[in-house]
Structure 1
Amino acid sequence: MNATGALGQYGEDLAARLLAEAGLTVLARNWRCGRTGEIDIVARDRDARGWDMLVVCEVKTRRAGSFEHPMAAVTPEKADRLRRLAGCWLERCGGPPPGGVRIDLIGVLLPRRGAPVVEHARGVA
């Protein structure tokens, strides 16, 4: 694995831990759907009514001082791809849960010193 891959893997590990600590159940990591792409993390959450909800998480990890903040990395094209990937997951895994589908973004910023900063934005697309 190269340095970029290791950085991304580290960010995804932090994101999966954050989701689990927030009460979500991680169902899959790095789930691929042919040429459409990959979902970094697929999880299950509960909506306000207590119904299961599918959560598709995009994780972006950056070192401090890089060109853009990780939360700025989801373009409209990337959001469209995430929606298509969510549809692919639903086709292969039994349809939508009662609570529907949510697309989240988790940004991980690694400062030169100190602990990583992990931000979780729910329902970004």
Structure 2
Amino acid sequence: MRRNLALGAMGEELAAKALTEAGMQILDRNWRCRHGELDLVAVDGDAVVFVEVKTRSGLGYGTPAESVTYAKQRRIRMLAQRWLAASDRHWPAVRFDVVSVLVDRRGEPAVSHLPAVF
């Protein structure tokens, strides 16, 4: 379990770095409420972007992005509504992205940003 937590934390750090390097601004990391957690909340132009980060060390259960099921998407949308309600700003656009991090056997990560996937 500890290894999975460390892998997930590394994936979120890599995702935040990749998004920042792409010109996005990170507003929140691991935002929590009693209903769950949002991995990253960012700004891209005039859009607020809710980013789900999935990290895997192999493809035995599919790609990291494939683990963002319809049920997970619904949960993220609900959490996004709660985040927006708590925000003191009106956002003209909302987007949902996934960042997939696949770490190979040597420990080398491959980061893939999938914008507007749901």
Q: Structure 2 length normalisation: TM-score?
A: 0.93
Q: Percent identity?
A: 47
Structure-2 separation of matches of 1:65 and 1:76: 20
- Render the CA deviation track for 1:55-94: whole Å, top value 9, x for unaligned: 0000000002432210101111111111111100110013
The residue type equivalent to 1:41 in the other structure is L
Confirm whether residue 27 of structure 1 aligns to residue 27 of structure 2: yes
Structure-2 separation of matches of 1:3 and 1:114: 13
Aligned position for 1:37: 36
Confirm whether residue 57 of structure 1 aligns to residue 56 of structure 2: no
Query: Contact between 1:54 and 1:96, CA under 8 Å: does it hold in 2?
Result: no
CA-atom RMSD in angstroms: 1.4
Q: Which runs of 4+ in 1 moved over 4 A?
A: none
Cα shift at 1:32? 0.6
Structure-1 separation of matches of 2:33 and 2:107: 36
Aligned position for 2:74: 80
Aligned position for 1:49: none
Confirm whether residue 8 of structure 1 aligns to residue 16 of structure 2: no
Query: Contact between 1:71 and 1:106, CA under 8 Å: does it hold in 2?
Result: yes
Alignment of 1:100-111 (within 5 A): 100-111=93-104
The residue type equivalent to 1:44 in the other structure is V
Aligned position for 2:105: 112
Gaps of 5+ in 1: 47-51
Query: Contact between 1:12 and 1:59, CA under 8 Å: does it hold in 2?
Result: yes
- Render the CA deviation track for 1:2-27: whole Å, top value 9, x for unaligned: 11111100000000000000000001
